[in-house]
Structure 1
Amino acid sequence: FLFDVNCPDYKYYEFRLAEEERALSQAKDSQSTTS
Protein backbone atom coordinates (compact mmCIF):
# COMPACT_ATOMS: atom_id res chain seq x y z
CA PHE A 1 0.00 0.00 0.00
CA LEU A 2 3.01 2.27 0.44
CA PHE A 3 3.19 3.05 -3.26
CA ASP A 4 -0.55 3.41 -3.86
CA VAL A 5 -1.18 7.09 -3.28
CA ASN A 6 -4.92 6.64 -3.70
CA CYS A 7 -5.04 3.96 -1.03
CA PRO A 8 -6.51 5.18 2.30
CA ASP A 9 -3.80 3.22 4.09
CA TYR A 10 -1.18 5.30 2.32
CA LYS A 11 -2.85 8.54 3.36
CA TYR A 12 -3.06 7.27 6.93
CA TYR A 13 0.60 6.28 6.82
CA GLU A 14 1.58 9.69 5.54
CA PHE A 15 -0.54 11.33 8.22
CA ARG A 16 1.13 9.27 10.95
CA LEU A 17 4.54 10.13 9.54
CA ALA A 18 3.78 13.85 9.58
CA GLU A 19 2.48 13.63 13.14
CA GLU A 20 5.65 11.88 14.25
CA GLU A 21 7.80 14.47 12.50
CA ARG A 22 5.96 17.29 14.26
CA ALA A 23 6.20 15.56 17.64
CA LEU A 24 9.91 15.03 17.10
CA SER A 25 10.60 18.66 16.22
CA GLN A 26 8.47 19.79 19.14
CA ALA A 27 10.42 17.53 21.51
CA LYS A 28 13.65 18.94 20.14
CA ASP A 29 12.40 22.49 20.62
CA SER A 30 11.38 21.92 24.24
CA GLN A 31 14.71 20.24 24.90
CA SER A 32 16.76 23.12 23.52
CA THR A 33 14.71 25.69 25.42
CA THR A 34 15.12 23.77 28.67
CA SER A 35 18.90 23.52 28.47
Structure 2
Amino acid sequence: MTKCVDTGSSLIRLFRFPPASVMNLLGRNRNMSISS
Protein backbone atom coordinates (compact mmCIF):
# COMPACT_ATOMS: atom_id res chain seq x y z
CA MET A 1 0.00 0.00 0.00
CA THR A 2 2.76 2.44 0.93
CA LYS A 3 4.44 1.84 -2.44
CA CYS A 4 1.24 2.77 -4.29
CA VAL A 5 0.92 5.95 -2.23
CA ASP A 6 4.56 6.86 -2.88
CA THR A 7 4.16 6.39 -6.63
CA GLY A 8 0.97 8.43 -6.61
CA SER A 9 2.59 11.28 -4.67
CA SER A 10 5.60 11.23 -6.99
CA LEU A 11 3.32 11.45 -10.05
CA ILE A 12 1.44 14.35 -8.47
CA ARG A 13 4.73 16.14 -7.82
CA LEU A 14 5.76 15.62 -11.45
CA PHE A 15 2.44 17.06 -12.64
CA ARG A 16 2.90 20.04 -10.30
CA PHE A 17 6.21 20.84 -12.00
CA PRO A 18 6.02 23.29 -14.93
CA PRO A 19 6.65 21.87 -18.44
CA ALA A 20 10.05 23.62 -18.60
CA SER A 21 11.31 21.94 -15.43
CA VAL A 22 10.04 18.57 -16.66
CA MET A 23 11.90 19.00 -19.95
CA ASN A 24 15.04 19.92 -18.00
CA LEU A 25 14.71 16.77 -15.89
CA LEU A 26 14.27 14.67 -19.05
CA GLY A 27 17.34 16.31 -20.58
CA ARG A 28 19.37 15.57 -17.47
CA ASN A 29 18.27 11.93 -17.52
CA ARG A 30 19.21 11.64 -21.20
CA ASN A 31 22.61 13.22 -20.54
CA MET A 32 23.24 10.86 -17.64
CA SER A 33 22.34 7.81 -19.75
CA ILE A 34 24.50 9.02 -22.64
CA SER A 35 27.48 9.81 -20.38
CA SER A 36 27.18 6.44 -18.64
TM-score, with length taken from structure 1: 0.55
Q: Percent identity?
A: 10
Which stretches of structure 1, 4 residues or longer, exceed 6 Å deviation after superposition? none
Q: Number of matched residues?
A: 21
Structure-2 residue corresponding to 1:28:
none
Which segments of 5 or more consecutive residues in structure 1 lack a partner in the other structure? 26-35
Q: Deviations over 1:1-35 (max 9, x none)?
A: xxxx520000000000000000000xxxxxxxxxx
Task: Confirm whether residue 10 of structure 1 aligns to residue 21 of structure 2.
Answer: yes
TM-score, with length taken from structure 2: 0.54
The structure that has the greater radius of gyration is 1
